[in-house]
């Protein structure tokens, strides 16, 4: 049984996915080769063993990723974070953080002007036209407040991830 902080568990999942991708690459580079010439096999026994080893590695890494992701999920759905005097599960905070980041990005994209999106343009037959967002000051204030919230929640999630632990049995490490 291995004890990891959530941060370590998330990092380990990332590393295991990298290992999985390396094994996949072998099937595209080392194992996808001529296997017969004139109906005669040209595959050496050691290469057959390499393929078996890769398949075993894929299975082991898959099981470890499943174990880690399940442990992370359980901790996120049961562990709580205090935000402004209210308790919320880490999953709730993560979901709200994801949505709030999306809101900030979307609204910022629609309030920013620059290359190929000029605020003031001359339109033939119309005159000088200024584009903008209706009630832009309020939208910009909302974005600013949301950014503060996002930053605070990000810090709370980072603290949660660095202090909460999970116990898992890993086969590939």
Tens-level pLDDT at each residue, the chain (173 residues): 999 999 999 999 999 999 999 999 999 999 999 999 999 999 999 999 999 999 999 999 999 999 999 999 999 999 999 998 999 999 999 999 999 999 999 999 888 876 667 778 888 999 999 888 899 999 999 999 999 999 999 999 999 999 999 999 999 88
Q: Where are the domains of the chain?
A: 2-168
Q: Reduce the DSSP state of residue 80 to 3 states and report it.
A: strand
d(CA 5, CA 11): 10
Q: Which residues have C-beta within 8 Å of that of residue 104, sequence separation ≥ 6?
A: 143, 146, 147, 150
Distance from C-alpha of 173 to C-alpha of 158, rounded to nearest angstrom? 25
CA atoms within 13 A on the CB side of 81: 25
pTM of the model: 0.84
């Amino acid at each position: 049984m291995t004890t990891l902080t959530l941060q370590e568990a998330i990092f380990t999942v990332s590393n295991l996915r990298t290992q999985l991708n390396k094994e996949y690459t072998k099937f595209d580079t080392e194992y996808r080769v001529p296997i017969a010439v004139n109906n005669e096999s040209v595959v050496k026994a050691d290469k057959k063993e390499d393929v078996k080893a890769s398949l075993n590695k894929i299975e082991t890494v898959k099981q470890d990723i499943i174990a880690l992701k399940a442990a992370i999920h359980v901790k996120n759905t049961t562990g709580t974070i205090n935000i402004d005097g209210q308790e919320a599960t880490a999953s709730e905070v993560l979901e709200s953080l994801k949505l709030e980041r999306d809101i900030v990005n979307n609204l910022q994209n629609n309030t920013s002007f620059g290359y190929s999106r000029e605020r003031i343009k001359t339109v033939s037959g119309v005159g000088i036209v200024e584009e903008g967002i209706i009630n832009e000051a309020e939208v910009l204030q909302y974005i600013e407040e949301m950014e503060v919230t996002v930053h605070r929640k990000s810090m709370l999630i980072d603290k949660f991830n660095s202090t909460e632990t999970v116990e898992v049995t890993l086969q590939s490490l």
